[in-house]
Structure formats: C-alpha cells, structure tokens
Chain A
C-alpha cells in the first residue's frame, strides 16, 4: 500500500516546535550570541569576535577537563557494560524471583543524583562512613578528600553502583526477547555456553546494548551532581569534569563569554558523538541486528 502524502499534517507538529523553540533553540541562540561578546553585567555587551574560542582552544584547563571527562566515560562504560551483561545473564528468567530481582535492580535508578552523591560522600568518610571507616580499620589509608586516585575510584564505583542496573535491565530485556527455539537448536548442535553467548545472545542484544552505551555515554559525559556532591571537583582539580568546570566558569566566576564558548564546543562534541551512535544504531536496525 502506498504511503499517504499529506504535507498539511506537518502543522500538527507546530506545538512541539514552539515548545522546543522556547526550551532549547532560543536559549542556544543566546549562548551563541554570548560566545562572541564580553559583558560586565547590566545587559551591556562588547564584541570580542573569536577571542573566547581562541583562548579556550589554547587553555590547558579545558583540555585537561576534556581529558578527564573522556577517561571517566571510557572507564565507566568499560566496567558497566560487561558487568551489566554478566548480571543480566545470571538474573532469573521467570517466577517470583524474577520480579523481585527486577524491583531490586531498579532501586538505584530511582534515587535522585544528589542523594546518591550524599550517600557516597558519607559512606566514604573515614570518621563516620561505613566504607571509609572499614577500609581505615583494615589498614588501607583511604581518603577521597585528599588522594586523587581514591577520589577517582570513589566516583567511578559510585557511578557503577548507580547505573549498572540500567545496563543489566536493558540487556535482560534483550535476552528475554530471544525465542526458546534458538537455545534448543544450540543444544542439538551441542554448542558450548560461550558459543551460545557469542552467536545467539550477544547478536540479539546488540541493539539494546548500543542504546545502553549511548545512554551511559551521554549521561556520564554531562555528569555533574554526583561528583560535585562527593568531591566538589577535588582534590585540586582531580575530578573536575567538563560540566563542573563549566559551572565554575559560568556561575562561579560569572565569565559568561568564555562559558558560552565552552558550552558551544561541549555541545558540538556531544552532537558529533550522538550522531555517530545514532547512525550506527539505525544501520544496525536496517541490517536486522
């Protein structure tokens, strides 16, 4: 059957366009305008051309924050995706236990970011926190407020704790959609556990795993609240990720021009990576993956 062509139907999209214009397009345009100017307040602006962009491209501070951000996203994806798959593979497939495990797995996802940050901020403290106190008691000199490596480990473990269940739930949904016939065929062929995983489960999970990687990447790339509450970006600048640095610049120092230029570059990187993921995902769909 031919698809009906009705261009007038586009007018029905108008309310959404207006909403997006107010919530995204107009603010983004304002950010572009700010990025080329300097202001000292009172809505008075001075033209600065490409100055802020040039400064930022040569700023060690921004490159370091970007490096830390990429390292953080890469580490948490490298841990959360395999761990999520492992958890999903071991979750009960049906019955009361399946429902119970699903509820338990969803719990960390329901906790607001700032509460997660506060939980780990206290949990890791050497004086009153269970984790910090225990580590200290067994002789490990753990202190996330002074040691950059400890701060990184804490922030990463916190993210893994908070978000691995999202990956597990997505992978679980992918696994549940595999018909039993595939497993029966594998059994007849006497396929090993690894081969069942490699040739049946993994290809069938590819689509949802791609979504999981995309979600985790985007979320970790703009992470702000959790590390801000736990470490405040410290010790020194050790856990100052892009968004923490951006907020420091925009609201701490009130440097609107450089912060706007920073935001635009941040936005471009996110746009590029989202496009790559989106393209890979839609191509996977077309190949029937």
Chain B
C-alpha cells in the first residue's frame, strides 16, 4: 500500500466520506422516502442532497483557499456546515 502514499488526514477524509455513504445507505433502506422538489426546482432525494452538499463543499473550500489562504482554512468548514444545513432544508 506504500505506493498509495497514505497519510492520516487523507485517510480520515476517506473514512468520513465512506461513513457518510454507509450512513445514508442505511437511512435509505430503513426510512425510504419519496423525492421532493426544492428551491432548485429539481426532484432530490437525501442521497442527491448529500452529493450536492459534498460537491458544493469542495468548491467552497477551494474558493476560500484562493481568497483567504491556507491558514484560515478551518473556517471554510463552518461555511460548509451552514451550506449543508441549507441544502438539506431547502433543496
């Protein structure tokens, strides 16, 4: 596995993503839901909203890094959390 150049932070990142995917799969099996139409005008399920959250968070982090620099990066996660809450509430 050394060729994959693992580090603790990147491993943690993938564990969190995998954990989210597993949690949402269990949620989908236990509590099936019907898609709903939100502010974007498109039908979304919980899984879609997770995808929109993760993809949007990647761009928020990049934009923050570009504008504010690496030192303040943890604050970007706070914005991501607010964004995630907004996506799950309104999208």
Contact = CB atoms under 8 A, between A and B. Distances in A.
Interface of A: 7, 26, 29-30, 32-34, 36-37, 39, 43, 45, 47, 49-51, 53-54, 57-58, 265, 268, 271-272, 275, 279, 283, 286
If over half of B's interface residues share one DSSP class (helix, strand or loop), that class is named, otherwise mixed; here it is helix
A32 B10 contact: yes
Contacts of B42: 279, 283
Contacts of A283: 42-43
Contacts of A275: 51, 55
B82 interface: no
A57 B14 contact: no
A275 B55 CA distance: 10
Given A272-B55, A283-B42, A29 B4 contact: yes
Interface of B: 2-7, 9-10, 13-14, 29, 42-43, 51, 55, 58-59, 62, 65-66, 69-70, 73
Of A30, A33, A53, A283, the most chain B CB neighbours within 10 A belong to A33
Contact of B5 (A34, A51, A57): A34
B43 A286 contact: yes
A173 to B, nearest CB: 26
Q: Closest 9 interchain pairs by CB?
A: A57-B66, A50-B70, A33-B5, A45-B5, A30-B4, A33-B10, A268-B58, A279-B42, A54-B70
17 contacts: A7-B29, A32-B10, A32-B14, A34-B5, A36-B7, A36-B10, A37-B7, A45-B7, A54-B66, A54-B69, A58-B66, A268-B58, A268-B59, A268-B62, A271-B55, A279-B42, A283-B43
Contacts, number: 58
A72 B59 CA distance: 23
Nearest to B48: A279
Given A268-B58, A279-B42, A50 B14 contact: no
Contacts of B4: 26, 29-30, 33
Nearest to A35: B10
Contacts of A26: 4
Nearest to A47: B7
A54 B65 CA distance: 6
A48 to B, nearest CB: 10
Contacts of A53: 62, 65
